[in-house]
Structures are given as C-alpha cells and as structure tokens.
C-alpha cells in the first residue's frame, strides 16, 4: 500500500490502527503493530517527499459489527450475558469521534505521527447493565490473547508522546523527528511513566450516558 501511494503521489495517507497494536498479546495485535511501524518508516523512503504517512489508533467503535454492544443485545432475551471478567474495562468511541480524529490527522500531520483520541472508559459489567439491566452475568473467564484492559499508549512510547486538547500524539523516533517543532506544535510532553489504559483513564462513561446513546442509535447498532 505504501508503494502504491508513493507511485501515485498521494499527498497524505492515514492508516487505521487499534489498541491491540500497543504491547500486543496476539498475532492480530502484532500485525497491527507491524503495520504501524511500516507506515511510520515509509516517511523516510527515498522519493517519499511528496507523500506523508501517519496513523490513527483507536479501539472498537461503539455498536460496530463484532463489538460487545450488539453481542449483548442479541443475547439479552436469554436473561444471561457472558462476562469474561468483572474487572475488565474497555475504551468507548463513537463512529463520529473516530472519523473526526482521522480528519484531524489529515489537517495536522507532517508525517510519522500516531494519533490517539482521548475517550472515556467503561467496565464491561456496566456495559452489560446498560444494555440489559435485568440480565444475569455469567463469568466465563478471560480468553487466550485477550487483554483485561485496553491500552492505546504504553510506557515505552511515553518519551515520544505529547498531549493536546482531546488527543495524544506519538511522534516518530526515527531521524529524531520527535524533537521536531513542526510535529510537536503546541503539544505538552507527557510524564516518563505515562501510559494510556482503559483502567487508569481519567474519563469514564456512565451507564445512563450509554443507554441514551443506545436509544438514539438503535437502528445503526450492528450495522456500522
């Protein structure tokens, strides 16, 4: 894909990544991390001066196919919902927020940045209660390769990460581009032990807020 964009002189390219690319536990996450690395490295290809590559990283979009909300809705009539672990947490992002972050990247990018939305978290048990308040919870245990908590930015990237209003930006380590004022802009350097995880997140979504979103988007859930 990188070569095709270079050949056709595409001006700006944004790859869509996932939380699973941060400290991956399974093959899917490892392939997403490899994809992120390749897109960042593409900025230093010979002849890439006319094409800029960046990445937007986020988790499952609320109500999208394969996400937990439509799964819980499909099982609600059984009166019991499967819960991997009562302490599990997940990031919550709407389709509109995800798209807005992509456009933000196109407007802001110089090349090599990884953009991460600042979004709320929820416990999986609270998601279940918002979808089906009367359903019992059947604890089935965490599955191989599954994370207890989602992570968008690990401590290993803290040295290259800057905070902005509404998002974070991991700048590229190659060529010392993380020191580039054109890429940093008005960013604030995060602490050296910083990580962005769903369990230590400062922003949390309430069950009431999720119920309101479900009511307003019921016709789209599972079709996004």
Catalytic residues: 20
Terminal Cα distance for the chain, rounded: 24
SS3 content of the chain, % helix, strand, coil (to 5): 40, 20, 40
DSSP state of 18: -
- Provide the strand spans (E) within the chain: 12-17, 52-57, 80-83, 89-91, 114-117, 121-123, 136-139, 151-153, 161-164, 167-170, 188-189, 196-197
DSSP state of 148: S
**28-49 burial by CB neighbour count: b if 16+ within 10 A, else e?**
ebeebbebbeebbebbeeeebe
Length of the chain (residues): 224
CB atoms within 10 A of CB 223: 10
Separation between Cα atoms, residue 32 and residue 38, nearest integer Å: 10
């Amino acid at each position: 894909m990188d070569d095709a964009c270079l050949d056709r002189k595409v001006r700006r390219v944004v790859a869509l990544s996932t939380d699973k690319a941060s400290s991956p536990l399974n093959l899917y996450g490892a392939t997403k991390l490899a994809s992120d690395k390749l897109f960042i490295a593409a900025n230093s290809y010979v002849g890439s001066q006319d094409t800029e590559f960046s990445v937007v990283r986020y988790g499952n979009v609320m109500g999208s196919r394969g996400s937990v909300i439509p799964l819980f809705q499909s099982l609600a009539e059984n009166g019991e919902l499967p819960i991997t672990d009562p302490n599990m947490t997940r990031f919550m992002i709407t389709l509109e927020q995800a798209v807005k972050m992509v456009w933000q990247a196109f407007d802001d990018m110089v090349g090599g940045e990884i953009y991460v939305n600042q979004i709320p978290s929820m416990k999986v048990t609270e998601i279940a209660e918002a979808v089906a308040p009367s359903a019992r919870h059947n604890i089935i245990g965490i599955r191989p390769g599954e994370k207890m908590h989602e992570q968008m930015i690990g401590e290993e990237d803290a040295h290259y990460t800057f905070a902005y209003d509404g998002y974070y930006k991991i700048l590229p380590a190659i060529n010392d581009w993380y020191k580039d004022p054109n890429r940093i802009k008005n960013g604030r350097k995060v602490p050296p032990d910083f990580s962005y995880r769903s369990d230590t997140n400062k922003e949390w979504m309430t069950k009431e807020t999720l119920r309101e979103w479900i009511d307003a988007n019921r016709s789209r859930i599972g079709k996004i």
